Amino acid sequence: MIIPAIDLSCGQVVRLKQGDFNQKTIFKLNPLSRILRAYHDGAKLMHIVDLDGAKNPHQRQFAMIKHLVKASPIPIQTGGGIRSVSDVEILLKLGVERVVIGSFALMHPELVRGILKRFGPDAITLAFDVNIKADGKAYVATHGWQETSNITIDEILKRYLSLNLKHILVTDISKDGMMQGANYNLYSYLAQRYDNLDIIASGGISSLEDVRKTALSGATSVVLGRSLLEGKFTVKEAIACWQNA
């Protein structure tokens, strides 16, 4: 599945380079217009990141998310600094299809296990931002990518697989925002090891060839952000490429 993405800050569509708020590009685009364009191009799901909420949980853009969910003809997956059961509950009540939980899944596994039990695996996507270390293993990063834990993605997945976890979004930090291709080896590894999971690739896609390679890697979905914003290709073209890979 092709999943178009927009990152929101102060209601504006923006993109960060490797998660750095000091390297922020503002796009003079209307968020709802982007969603409607994606829908007309054939998208079945939209990914929205609340950057303000990720930076400060007291500045969550709930009003904007509510507006977009209500007006959107396609389901919305959203996250950004989710740190409590209440955050998840509010977003689901606003009509969000899936809530994306990132660092919280690493730092508070028992609470997140409770969230999966309460709301069900269909409503939750666990997002893992990883750094590949010298040993070749993917270690999960925290605190807005500023710190890398000593826990591999395999170790953290073990905590949740027994709860019928369905959706994981995986980003190689070194690739995000760099427009130099994705980490196809990482997605191939995950697809072979966890063939029952919806593995959503993210970061680095800059061309239709990158889309094709991501599909061939075994990832079941891909989030596309900057490449669409910069007009490298359209959602319609990406869908056709994915289906024909």
pLDDT for 111 beyond 90: yes
Per-residue pLDDT tens over the stretch 73-105: 999 999 988 999 999 999 999 999 999 999 899
Q: pTM of the prediction?
A: 0.91
Per-residue pLDDT tens over the stretch 25-69: 888 899 999 999 999 999 999 999 999 888 888 889 999 999 999
Distances in whole angstroms, Cα of residue 41 to Cα of each of 34, 55, 173, 235: 11, 32, 28, 6
pLDDT for 226 beyond 90: no
Beta bridge partners of 132: 138
Q: Which domain holds residue 31?
A: 2-244
Structure token pair of residue 152: 């591999």
pLDDT for 178 beyond 60: no
Instruction: Please give the pLDDT value at position 103.
Output: 87
The set of catalytic residues is: 7, 129
Structure token pair of residue 32: 């709802």
Which CATH number fits the domain that encloses residue 130?
3.20.20.70
Compute the Cα dihedral for 81, 87, 89, 94 and give only its sign: negative
Tell me what the pLDDT averaged over the chain comes to: 90
Domain count, the chain: 1
pLDDT for 189 beyond 80: yes
SS3 169: strand
Between 22 and 206, residue with greater pLDDT: 206
